[in-house]
Amino acid sequence: MEDEQKHTPFLTSAEPESTVSTKTWLIAASAVVLLIVIAAVATLRRTPVNTGAALPADANAASLPISDRSMSEATNGAGGKSTYLDGTITNNTSKTLTAATAQVSFATTDGTQPHRETTPLMLVRTRVPYVDLQMVSADPIKPGDHRDFRLIFESVPANWDVQPPVITITHAELR
């Protein structure tokens, strides 16, 4: 038995070699940071601007009436709340509408200055299986035509009076 132990080679586990170099880790970390920066910039560019001050209506605003307004809310998985403003815009001008910006004013219950956000008008492209939005430039609105739109707000104040907000077309591009 002693002889068996002397002749049995010991099985040793060698330390695994590091197959990932420091350079690879640095490249991976840089890529992650770059993705975070891109996501942050995309989010900031998408976020409507709270201007605080009322902007003047575009010269063509009266010829771009908003109708069939409705509102809804939804919560996301992180506990945040989104407020949706749906409606229809009609182009009563003699030119094709290729872009539009709306300022939406949410009145407050305490009489303080309304909460205002300025955002590009986003048209409803499809509703099934979910609501998909696109810029007006992706499907310009011809004279006499109308399209459904949806505006999404992530920061409606707690003191909003829950009445439909005022929508003003502050910029319209026509060709």
pLDDT of residue 13: 58
pLDDT of residue 47: 46
pLDDT of residue 66: 97
pLDDT of residue 155: 87
Q: How far apart are CA 85 and CA 71, in angstroms?
A: 5
pLDDT of residue 27: 85
Q: Where are the domains of the chain?
A: 20-49, 61-174
In three state form, how does the secondary structure of the chain look? CHHHHHHCCCCCCCCCCCCCCHHHHHHHHHHHHHHHHHHHHHHHHHCCECCCCCCCCCCCHHHCCEEEEEEEEEECCCCCEEEEEEEEEECCCCCCEEEEEEEEEECECCCCCCEEEEEECEEEEECCCCCEEEEHHHCCECCCCEEEEEEEECCCCCCECCCCCEEEEEEEEEC
Look up the CATH number of domain 61-174. 2.60.40
pLDDT of residue 42: 56
pLDDT of residue 97: 98
For the chain, 175 residues long, the average pLDDT of each consecutive 10-residue run is 54 62 82 73 52 88 97 86 95 98 95 92 93 95 97 92 95 97
pLDDT of residue 35: 73
